[in-house]
Amino acid sequence: MSSIRATEDQYNTIASTRNHHEALTHFLSSKGQSIEREEIYKILYAVTIDKRRIGAAIKIADNLFLTASHILSSDPSKNAIHSYTNYRSLSFTILAQDERNDIALLHTQETDTLRIESLIDFAGEFPETGNIVSYFLLLNRERSKTYETELRGIEPMAENNKREDFYLGRLLAPQGSFTYEIEGFIMPYDPNAIEAHLERNQLTNNPLYSTNDLSSPEFSSLTTVIGYNGASGGGLFQKTTNGYELVGILTASVTERHLIPIPKSPRGFTRLQQNYSLFAHRKAIVTLINDYLLE
Q: Which tens digit of pLDDT belongs to each residue from 250-292? A: 998 888 888 999 887 777 778 889 999 999 999 999 999 999 9
Instruction: Check whether residue 207 and residue 166 sit in a common domain.
Output: yes
pLDDT of residue 205: 54
Instruction: Check whether residue 114 and residue 160 sit in a common domain.
Output: no
Instruction: Check whether residue 102 and residue 182 sit in a common domain.
Output: no
Give the Cα separation of 7 and 290 in Å (integer).
28
Q: Where are the alpha helices (DSSP H) in 183-293?
A: 191-200, 282-293
pLDDT of residue 33: 62
Is 233 among the domain residues? yes
Instruction: Check whether residue 54 and residue 184 sit in a common domain.
Output: no
Instruction: Check whether residue 144 and residue 220 sit in a common domain.
Output: yes
Instruction: Check whether residue 147 and residue 210 sit in a common domain.
Output: yes
Is 93 among the domain residues? yes
Is 127 among the domain residues? no
Which range, 82-96, 155-169, 274-288, is most confident? 274-288
Domain CATH for 75: 2.40.10.10
Mean pLDDT along residues 93-102: 93
**What is the three-class DSSP state of 170?**
strand
Instruction: Check whether residue 158 and residue 61 sit in a common domain.
Output: no
Is 68 among the domain residues? yes
Instruction: Check whether residue 176 and residue 264 sit in a common domain.
Output: yes
pLDDT-derived band at 144 (thresholds 50, 70, 90) equals confident
Q: Which tens digit of pLDDT belongs to each residue from 9-29? A: 433 444 456 778 888 998 898
Contacts of residue 206, defined as CB under 8 A and 6 or more positions apart, other chains included, come to: none
Number of domains in the chain: 2
Is 200 among the domain residues? yes
**What is the three-class DSSP state of 291?**
helix
Is 32 among the domain residues? yes
Instruction: Check whether residue 112 and residue 216 sit in a common domain.
Output: no
Give the Cα separation of 160 and 264 in Å (integer).
30
Instruction: Check whether residue 166 and residue 208 sit in a common domain.
Output: yes
Is 124 among the domain residues? no
Is 125 among the domain residues? no
Q: Which tens digit of pLDDT belongs to each residue from 199-246? A: 887 765 554 445 566 788 999 999 999 988 889 999 999 988 888 999
- Going across the sheet that includes 89-90, the strands are 89-90, 79-83, 44-49, 52-61, 64-67, 103-108, 92-98
Instruction: Check whether residue 143 and residue 244 sit in a common domain.
Output: yes
Number of residues that make up the chain: 295
Instruction: Check whether residue 193 and residue 256 sit in a common domain.
Output: yes
The domain of 24 spans 2-119+286-293
Query: Is there a contact between 41 and 178 (Cβ–Cβ < 8 Å)?
Result: yes
pLDDT of residue 87: 79
